[in-house]
A and B are shown apart, each in its own frame.
Chain A
Amino acid sequence: MTAAKGSAERTPSAARSPFVYRPTASPEEAARWEPRRILITNVRSIAGRAYPRLIGLRREPSWILFEILLPFLTTSAFVFVYRALQSPPEYIGFVVLGGAMTAFWMNVMWMMAAQLYWEKDQGNLERYFTAPMSMMAILLGMAIGGLLMSTFRAGIVLLVGTIVYGVVFSVDQWFLLLGVFVLFLTALYGLGMMLATLFVLWGREAWHLTQIMAEPVYFVSGLNFPVARLGLFGAAALGTIPLAVGLDAIRQLAFAGSTNTGSFISPEGEALLLVAMTIVFIGLARYLLRIIERLARQDGKLITRTS
């Protein structure tokens, strides 16, 4: 009786999930999915991949100390450098703004770009590739989860920095500022998606590349000063690094009327640049994903845990 009951509980039932327990006549029919089913599966994959990032915020509260408070002190060090130099007050604001924006860059580098490489290390990547979902859904889930984490961190750095150091923002075009910020995030996380696939291909170098892409990028992106002051290097950064473009545009819009925010391009032009970057980076991410998927199936080594 008990055995029969247990067996009945394990029996697939249409009432439980039409996607998982759909009775089919043959494996070929089972492999044919209608668009709605593909869409719902991918949406669930996005939510599923974003979930651990969000729930992790609650489960390990030590990150508040190590990922918000202590990095805020690093930002403060640059504020005090400007104070020691008796700089104009806008520069203190540039540092606080830069400190907030680094939260997104760090997140993209460590929790997007390097993430598939970590997943490979932990043995999860193989499962992602065998699961019936798009890898873009996984990357998007990672991006959404990471984005919410980083927004929280950036918001706190901006709020506390503004209050503690008395930063005065002067915004004339709120909608453009919001639009530029959203475009900055899409371009940045698009870059993260692209790098995530590249880092799987590059293997162990990924770890070192992640480390190397902090200080040099901060410098050429003009993290603490207007990027135009770097001349040719600044122009090159504006053409390639979303952090440089987003930071420069937001700086111009958040300190409207300041004579210290001089740039090569207007915020409107930088918004268009961010749109172009979004399209290019996400397009390249899709293309590279197809390549690693092919290599993974062909060689069977790319996605398997090696260390």
Chain B
Amino acid sequence: MTALAEAGTRWSRQADPESTRRQSIAQVWRGFLTATRLGWQTEANWTNPVVYFLYAVCTPVFATLMLVFMIQVISGGNAPPAYRAYVVIGSGLWSFVVAGIAGLAWAVLDDRERYRMLKYLFVSPNDLLVLLLGRGLARMMVGAMGAIVTLGLGVVVLGLPLDLARIDWPVLVAAMVLGLVSIVALGLILASVAMQTRQDSWHYPEAVSGALFLIVGAVFPLNILPTFAQAFGLISPLTWWLEAVRRALFPDIQSGIGGAGSLYASLAGHDAPSGIEALLALLLTTVVVTLAAVATYRWSEHRAKERGLFDVTTGS
């Protein structure tokens, strides 16, 4: 075992055995807040807040515009508002996924390849996982900006029929909380992969979120996909998150999961899931993904420690 690995074990696993539980929790909380603040500064302090805001919302807004314009081109300007709402919600919320998945993986890559601080963070008296979660939260806030602006533009500019009185707030809040947990869990899996890879991993989060974009019914209903792809979609928490949020915001919106010929309809015996049904499925899949993420991360951290990967700069 290297000196670095020994130090990591000493500090992160047995940090000050004489401290009380309360002191330990306070230390974890302090580490998390510091990491979040650091993540935000790293993200945002290269420019002034207005320019940064424009930067943060530019990508999701143009991604949504691309889809809306595709619909307009094909429909000759007569696209059904329901489908437009479907696309805008899916595309807007997707900026959470892109930011959340990339946040943790890029925190590992940034600190290992660019700032060369990962080894020092690992031996600091904080759990590296807590620090990475803090960094991930900072990026998630950037994603939130993009999502809010995109949905706002959808309502104001594209005329989405959002009625505040008809929103199912409890389902919306619960779906958002569980959805964000599942995104962080997916990000943690990617961070675990980034810890192990030897070369250029910067594109991995984007590639993975792009692949998930296909199978979760973000911008088209799942029943268009082949059955095996629908099955992958049904085991992803993101599918249920998007469905639950759509149902909560627009109760009459087209289902992204059910519909004629869908795998869901053949399995469940009814056409489309209700908001509560989507929420329960989201809870179940989130628990599974979170447990898998924690296990993957712990394995990856252990392997990186044993092989000295925290100390290796790959030059990517």
Q: State whether the Cβ of B82 lies closer than 8 Å to any Cβ in chain A.
A: no
A84 and B70 in contact, given A208-B55, A307-B114 (Cβ under 8 angstroms): no
Whether A62 pairs with B197 at a CB distance below 8 angstroms is yes
Q: Decide if A73 touches B224 in the complex (CB within 8 Å).
A: no
Task: Please tell me if the beta carbons of A70 and B225 are within 8 angstroms of each other in the complex.
Answer: no
Task: Give the total of A residues in contact with B, Cβ under 8 Å.
Answer: 44
B211 proximal to A (CB < 8 A): yes
A60–B199 touching, CB < 8 Å: yes
Q: Indicate if A67 sits at the interface (CB-CB under 8 A).
A: yes
Chain B contributes a number of interface residues (CB within 8 A of A) equal to 43
Chain B nearest CB: distance from A83 CB in Å? 6
Which of B15-23, B214-222, B293-301 has 4 or more CB atoms under 8 Å from chain A?
Answer: B214-222
Contacts of B47 in A (CB 8 A): 205, 208
State which of B73, B75, B204 has its C-beta within 8 Å of the C-beta of A225.
Answer: B73
0/1 interface trace, chain B 54-98, chain A, CB 8 Å (1 if under): 010011101101110111011100000001000100000000000
Q: With CB as the reference atom, state the residue of chain A lying closest to B46.
A: A204
The interface residues of chain A lying within 8 Å CB-to-CB of B198 are 60
Measured between C-beta atoms, what is the minimum distance from B258 to chain A in Å?
15
Contact of A216 among B46, B58, B203 (CB under 8 A): B58
Q: Which residues of the other chain, A, contact B159 by a CB distance below 8 angstroms?
A: none
Contact A70 B208 (CB under 8 A): yes
Is A15 engaged at the interface, CB distance under 8 Å to the other chain? no
A223, B315: Cα distance in complex, Å: 32
Which of B63, B74, B200, B215 makes the CB contact (< 8 A) with A215? B63
- From residue 192 to 213 of chain B, which have CB atoms closer than 8 A to chain A? 197-204, 207-208, 210-211, 213
Known: A77-B213, A121-B114. A85 touches B75 (CB 8 A): yes
Judged by a CB distance under 8 angstroms, whether A74 is at the interface is yes
Cross-chain contact A80 with B208 (CB below 8 angstroms): no
In the complex the two chains form, what is the Cα distance from A84 to B224 in whole Å? 7
Contact A212 B74 (CB under 8 A): no
Q: Please determine whether A74 and B214 come into contact, CB atoms closer than 8 angstroms.
A: yes
A83 touches B224 (CB 8 A): yes
Contact A85 B71 (CB under 8 A): yes
Chain A residues closer than 8 Å to B69, beta-carbon distance? 219, 225, 229-230
Give the distance in Å from the alpha carbon of A229 to the alpha carbon of B71 in the complex. Answer: 12
Q: Does A91 contact B (CB under 8 A)?
A: yes
Q: Is B115 close to A, CB under 8 A?
A: yes
> Assuming A85-B75, A212-B58, is B214 touching A73 (CB within 8 A)?
yes
On whether the beta carbons of A223 and B220 are closer than 8 Å, the reply is: no
Instruction: Please state if A216 and B62 are interface contacts (CB–CB under 8 Å).
Output: yes
Contact with A along B130-156 (1 / 0, CB 8 A): 000000000000000000000000000
Complex contacts, B199 vs chain A, CB 8 Å:
56, 59-60, 63
The contact string, 1 if C-beta is below 8 Å from chain B, for chain A 225-269, is 100011000000000000000000000000000000000000000
Within 8 A of B (CB), among A83-102: 83-87, 91
CB atoms of A67 and B62 under 8 A apart = no
A-B pairs with lowest CB-CB distance, top 4: A74-B210, A70-B207, A215-B62, A73-B211
15 A-B pairs whose Cβ atoms sit less than 8 Å apart in the complex: A66-B203, A74-B214, A78-B70, A81-B67, A82-B70, A204-B46, A208-B46, A212-B58, A215-B63, A216-B58, A216-B59, A216-B62, A224-B66, A230-B69, A307-B115
Q: A81-B219, A83-B224, A212-B58 are in contact. List 13 more A-B contacts (CB 8 A).
A: A60-B198, A62-B197, A66-B203, A67-B207, A70-B207, A77-B214, A81-B220, A110-B202, A214-B59, A215-B59, A224-B66, A225-B70, A230-B69
